[in-house]
Chains A and B, each alone.
Chain A
Amino acid sequence: MIDAGLRELAAALAGKRISSVELVTQFLDRIAGRNPQLNAFITVDPEKTLAMARSADARLARGEGGPLTGIPLAHKDIFCAEGWLTTCGSKMLSNFVSPYDATVIERFKAAGTVTLGKTNMDEFAMGSSNETSFYGPVKNPWDMAAVPGGSSGGSAAAVAARLTPAATGTDTGGSIRQPAALCGLTGLKPTYGVVSRWGMIAFASSLDQGGPMAKSAEDCALLLNVMAGFDARDSTSLERPAEDYARDLEEPLAGLRIGLPKEFFAEGLSADVAQAVEAAIAEYRRLGAVTVEVSLPNMKLSVPAYYVIAPAEASSNLSRFDGVRYGHRAPQYDDLIDMYCRSRAQGFGAEVKRRILIGTYVLSHGYYDAYYLQAQRIRRLIAADFSQAFKSCDLIMGPTSPTVAFDLGARAADPVQMYLSDIYTIAVNLAGLPGMSIPCGFGAGKRPVGLQIVGNYFEEARMLNVAHQYQRATDWHVRAPEL
């Protein structure tokens, strides 16, 4: 059952061919065997997991199950889950057991899914390789020498290694799509405001968005059906009628207009990735789509704008981690200021400190206009670029990441090089658009390549349809690493 999709698992559970406890046990066994190498999970708690599975079985037995009841899932350790250690990959929260559930967790609980554990991630979601985690790097199941991408690297590695059927992730500048690409998965970052941020530990509030990571577009659609929806506890949550994201999966693609931004296929894109992406686009033409060239002239400004806005918001969001009420507090200190300094110096890793410093700087008196306001202007220009592009196409496609997974440690010393991993994904967050990545082949070192699909606002169902039709015609998404 480890390779099965969610519908297949649901059918097996409904048909009593397997119980949730049995299914969950299979995955817990795989985690016990493989996680020591992969380091995809920060917390596994079989007792809690089995209790949830038993209650899911009881619910199924009463005939009250929903489409995902009894199905095991892993959650990125950025989502607060009541009674679970919720670390956000940081020493700062290494002692924090959440007293409440994030909306995403609450919704999955209500749907009857079973939590397998909390997955590893870059510290406070700041990173593109999962190397900034206090809990150590995650390995890419396709090649143990490679990074899985980040920041949702633990979720990506866990799904790729079949330690869980699917997982949740969050995406601030590419943190779902880039690891999905590097681990050969399907991942979706919804339109900003579609998934509630309540209980999702904030990195950059105006960019953060939760979403599903799974083996297929169909699975992502089923997961998004649970995750999405208005939440009065999140003021940026959008009040819209509920929709079935799986409703259009089987629609044909004839007449689909795919926009190809010339800036996505320029300098910086490695040849192996370009080849796989172009082959995928050729497949789309065979499926009836037409392609048009579009332009996102301000895309080159997206990385600099992002590295002003995201650190600015983060520097403020992370101020609550002061050692006063919860989290790490230095064991020894002289006075209040010393307590703050030591607790934060000890509790945060280097990348988090770097971004807090950048963010504090750009918001400082005298620099605010030149950096923060300027970055906000660029943000509007980028959103306008996309809006212009969508006048001539239905969807935009291109590479998710400029390269396949790089080696562990290869970029750790060069933050700018690391930041460029997200050059194709960041603009989508700045514009608040939905974006996804689907596997479309393999590049250097037989490492996976991801195709990025960007839709207009609220076009998730269409994007999932487009991804699903490709997955019906190809088999990249069913390939699994040999472990």
Chain B
Amino acid sequence: MGIADWEIVIGLETHAQLNTASKIFSGASTAFGAAPNTQASAVDIALPGVLPVLNRGAVERAIRFGLAVGGAIAPRSVFARKNYFYPDLPKGYQISQYELPVVSGGGLKIKVSLPDAAGEKFIRLTRAHLEEDAGKSLHEDFHGRSGIDLNRAGTPLLEIVSEPDMRSAEEAVAYAKALHALVRWIDICDGNMQEGSFRCDANVSVRPKGSTTLGTRREIKNLNSFRFLQQAIEYEARWQVERLEDGGRVEQATVLFDPASGETRAMRSKEEAHDYRYFPDPDLLPLEISPSWIDEVKAALPELPAAMKARFERDFRLSAYDAATLTASRETAAYFEQAATQGNAKLCANWIMGELAARLNREEKDIVASPVGAAQLAGLVVRVADGTLSSKMAKEVFDALWNGEGTNADALIEAKGLKQISDTGALEKIIDEVLAANPKSVEEFRAGKEKAFNALVGQAMKATKGKANPQQVNDLLRKKLGA
């Protein structure tokens, strides 16, 4: 047997930090990067006597998520205490949701490669629940001691739990990317993975192909990049397969991924031997969400990527691929839509996915900060579509727009004298002159030398300083030569 004889089964637990201004149970700011412990209020440091008060903004975001994934929003959910001791957990318990989460079910489609011909797979979600983040322990710079920074303590998180529906590291990454795009699309999380705003735990198990029972899983904690997610799952799956093929057993465990070595390592059993003693938090009333609140959130929800993709295919006659690429982020979709309603949609799509994407990528700019705005691009595309600009000229105009040499394509075309000559009368006159000046080429062409035709086209283009529409030059020449 080898790895190809095994099926990998993966479920992800994703922590998305909700982009509320203040914490989930206190009024302290959630902004990243402040000096240690300057954003920790009395509640966050768990002084004696303090009490939590739920941030409605966090709940509103959870509802938004539930609606976006087609999950059920619980009319009544409960906050529970998860009890354990750790220095960066000031209360000695984390407030989370246990038995009754705010969102249940739902799911999202991901793009997959083989063997699914449709190229899409639906990943089911188990649940999503609200909870607070812990602080951070800092072990460097304290000479054998540890520092505790409680700025992050109490930051709102939505823990999104998938069913074990993924069968490869690629699928897991595709799911994580789709989820990442979605939480940003509905504006509940900034998605900043370096700052830990979006991080995944992967539950991985393997089983012989054809088996229907799940193998014993190990949970890889805290993967904060798509690359690490991919590497960690690949390593972990290989490790499990090798172990099983060697006649060993996989013990349920929590493991950490070391990006330096690319390996996973089990935590000491002491680190994970917890009985969390969950019970409903008596400081918080059950969270009640009325149908009218859900309706309010629904009304304010932006068009979702799947719906927008379908609409782009239908209304702008885009291919599934183009529509998917253009709806990868809400900003790109908005840019496209603005441009496409003013110009040729297919051409706009090509320009956005081609020249614009390359340029943005090269200069590390976001599309919202693009020097060439959607209206400007549309203006350019209009001139390409009507034949005013050749593609070479269009690139020149695009560069000029990017560099801020002008505010719109038409003005730049005028200023730079880039107008393609499409006036048949003017072109005919030039072609007549070219034919008169190059009798040798005309003769050669008539004798059947196709090369001579190209030479005549070249002369005509030269005579117009490249401004002639090459197609038109071709057509006119052939007409004149009676070909």
Q: Do A and B come from one complex?
A: yes
Question: With A235-B54, A312-B279 in contact, is A80–B47 under 8 Å at CB?
Answer: yes
Q: Which A residues touch B52, using CB under 8 A?
A: 235
CA distance A86 to B54 in the complex (A): 27
A76 at the interface (CB under 8 A from B): no
Known contacts: A322-B92, A324-B87. The answer to whether A202 contacts B277 by CB under 8 A is no
Within 8 Å CB of A93, what residues of B?
A: 48
Q: Within 8 Å of chain A (Cβ to Cβ): is B455?
A: no
* A295 touches B (CB below 8 Å): no
Task: Select which of A99, A198, A324 is within 8 A of B51 by beta carbon.
Answer: A198
A residues in contact with B279, CB < 8 Å = 312, 316, 363, 368, 372
| A340→B282 contact, CB < 8 A | no
Is A88's beta carbon under 8 Å from chain B? Answer: yes
Contact indicator A316/B93 (Cβ below 8 Å): yes
Per-residue CB contact flags for chain A residues 323-363 toward chain B (1 = under 8 Å, else 0) read 01110000000001000100000000000000000001001
A79 surroundings in chain B (CB, below 8 A): 49
Report the minimum CB–CB distance from A429 to chain B (whole Å): 12
CB distance from B264 to the nearest CB of A (A): 25
**Inter-subunit contact A199/B277 (CB<8 Å):** no
Contacting residues of chain B (14-64) with chain A, CB-CB under 8 angstroms: 42, 45-54
Proximity bits, B275-311, A CB within 8 Å = 1, else 0: 1011100111100000000000000000000000000
Could you say which interface size class chain A belongs to?
Answer: 35 or more
Q: Are B48 and A320 neighbours in the complex by a CB distance under 8 Å?
A: yes
Contacts of B49 in A (CB 8 A): 79-80, 98, 102, 197-202
Tell whether, in the assembled complex, residue A100 and residue B53 are in contact, meaning their CB atoms are under 8 Å apart. Answer: no
Q: What secondary structure prevails in chain A residues at the interface with B? A: loop
Determine the distance from Cα of A102 to Cα of B48 in the docked complex, in whole angstroms.
10
Q: Verify if B148 is at the interface (C-beta below 8 Å from A).
A: yes
**Residues on the B chain within 8 Å of A316, using CB:** 81, 83, 92-93, 277, 279
Interface status of B122 (Cβ within 8 A of chain A): no
Min CB gap B94→A, angstroms: 11
Contact B283 A235 (CB under 8 A): yes
Tell me if A235 and B92 are in contact (CB < 8 A). Answer: no
Chain B residues positioned under 8 Å from A336 (CB to CB): 87
The answer to the question of A460 belonging to the interface, with a C-beta cut-off of 8 Å to chain B, is no
**Quick one: closest A residue to B82, CB to CB?**
A316
Interface check A17, CB cutoff 8 A? no
- B282 pairs with A319, CB closer than 8 A: no
For B277, list chain A residues within 8 Å (CB).
315-316, 360, 363-365, 368
User: B87 — nearest CB in chain A belongs to which residue?
Assistant: A324
* Residues in A neighbouring B48, C-beta threshold 8 A: 80, 86, 88, 93, 96, 98, 201-202, 320-321
Kindly state whether residue A233 has any CB partner on chain B within 8 Å. Answer: yes
Contact status of A319 and B50, CB under 8 A, knowing A205-B283, A235-B285, A325-B45: no
B47: which of A88, A100, A340 is its contact (CB, 8 Å)? A100
Cβ contacts under 8 Å, B47 to chain A: 80, 98-100, 326
Separation in Å of the A462 CB from the closest CB of chain B? 27
- Give the interface centre of B47, B51, B90 by most chain A CB atoms within 10 Å: B51
Query: Shortest distance in angstroms between B448's beta carbon and chain A's nearest beta carbon?
Result: 92
Contacts of A233 in B (CB 8 A): 51, 53
Instruction: Tell me the minimal C-beta distance from B148 to chain A in angstroms.
Output: 7
Whole-angstrom distance from the CB of A89 to the nearest CB of chain B? 12
Chain A residue with Cβ nearest B48: A201
Smallest CB separation, A316 vs chain B (Å): 5
User: Is the pair B93, A236 in contact by a Cβ cutoff of 8 Å?
Assistant: no
With A316-B81, A372-B279 in contact, is A197–B51 under 8 Å at CB?
A: yes
- Bound-state CA distance A354–B227 (Å) is 50
The verdict on A282 contacting chain B, using a C-beta distance below 8 Å, is: no
Which residue on A lies nearest to B43, using beta carbons? A233
Known: A316-B83, A320-B46, A340-B85. A325 touches B90 (CB 8 A): yes
Check if B129 is an interface residue, CB within 8 A of chain A. Answer: no
The reply to whether the CB of A55 lies closer than 8 angstroms to some CB of chain B is no
A205 close to B50 (CB less than 8 A):
no
**Complex-state Cα separation, A204 to B277, whole angstroms:** 16
Query: Do A319 and B83 touch (CB < 8 A)?
Result: yes
- Residue A232 at the chain B interface, CB threshold 8 Å: yes
Tell me which residues from 42 to 64 in chain A have a Cβ below 8 Å from any Cβ of chain B: none
Judge whether A218 is part of the interface by a CB distance below 8 angstroms: no
Q: Taking the complex as formed, is B91 at the interface, i.e. its CB lies under 8 A from any CB of chain A?
A: yes
Contacts of B91 in A (CB 8 A): 319-320
Of chain A, the residue at the smallest CB distance from B146 is A336
CB distance from B174 to the nearest CB of A (A): 36
A236 touches B83 (CB 8 A): no
**CB within 8 Å of A: which of B175-217?**
none
For window 268-322 of chain A, which residues contact chain B by CB distance below 8 Å?
A: 312-313, 315-316, 318-322
Residue on A nearest B274 in the bound complex, by CB: A365
Interface centre among A199, A319, A336 (most CB of B within 10 A): A319
CA distance A45 to B50 in the complex (A): 25
Among A235, A315, A322, the one with the most B-chain Cβ atoms within 10 Å of its Cβ is A235
Q: Which residues of A contact B85 (CB under 8 A)?
A: 319, 322, 340
Compute how far the CA of A381 lies from the CA of B369 in the bound complex, rounded to whole angstroms. 63
Of the candidates B42, B45, B92, B284, the one whose C-beta lies within 8 Å of that of A319 is: B92
B253-287 contacts to A, CB under 8 A, are: 275, 277-279, 282-285
A99-B42, A201-B49, A235-B51 in contact; A320/B285 too (CB < 8 A)? no
Q: Which residues of B contact A340 (CB under 8 A)?
A: 85
Distance in angstroms between the alpha carbons of A265 and B91 in the assembled complex? 43
Whether A363 lies near B51 (C-beta < 8 A) is no
Question: Is B51 within 8 A of A234, CB to CB?
Answer: yes
* A471 proximal to B (CB < 8 A): no
User: Any chain B CB within 8 A of the CB of A225?
Assistant: no
With both chains docked as a complex, state the minimum distance between the C-beta of B56 and any C-beta of chain A, in angstroms. Answer: 12
Residue A206 at the B interface, CB < 8 A? Answer: yes
CA distance A285 to B184 in the complex (A): 71
Q: Which of B53, B92, B277 has the most CB of A within 10 A?
A: B277
| Chain B min CB distance to A144 (Å) | 32
Residue from A236, A315, A326, A360 within 8 A of B285 (CB atoms): A236
Docked Cα-Cα span, A234 to B53, in Å, equals 7
The CA of A26 and the CA of B63, in the complex, are separated in Å by 60
- Chain B: which residue is nearest A313 at the CB level? B282
Shortest Cβ distance from residue B261 to the other chain A in the assembled complex, whole angstroms: 26
User: In the complex, how many angstroms separate the beta carbon of A67 from the nearest chain B beta carbon?
Assistant: 27
A336 to B86, CA, bound (A): 9
* Contact residues in A for B46 (Cβ distance below 8 Å): 320, 325
* Chain A residue nearest in CB terms to B81: A316
Q: Complex formed: what's the CA distance from A111 to B283 in Å? A: 27
| A326 contacts across to B, CB distance below 8 A | 47
Instruction: Please give the distance in Å from A369's CB to the nearest CB on chain B.
Output: 11
Quote the shortest CB–CB distance from B86 to chain A (angstroms).
Answer: 9
**Contacting residues, chain A, for B93 (C-beta < 8 A):** 316, 319
CB distance from B446 to the nearest CB of A (A): 94
- How long is the Cα–Cα vector from A27 to B472 in the complex, in angstroms? 108
* 16 new A-B contacts at CB < 8 Å, known A88-B48, A202-B283, A326-B47: A80-B48, A96-B48, A197-B51, A198-B49, A232-B53, A233-B53, A234-B51, A313-B282, A315-B277, A316-B92, A319-B92, A320-B91, A325-B90, A336-B87, A363-B278, A368-B278
What are 21 A-B residue pairs whose CB atoms fall within 8 Å in the complex?
A79-B49, A80-B47, A86-B48, A88-B48, A99-B42, A198-B49, A198-B50, A201-B49, A205-B282, A235-B51, A316-B81, A319-B92, A320-B46, A320-B91, A320-B92, A322-B87, A324-B148, A336-B87, A360-B277, A363-B278, A365-B277
| Complex A-B, nearest 7 residue pairs according to Cβ-Cβ distance, in ascending order | A319-B92, A363-B277, A206-B282, A205-B282, A199-B49, A320-B46, A201-B48
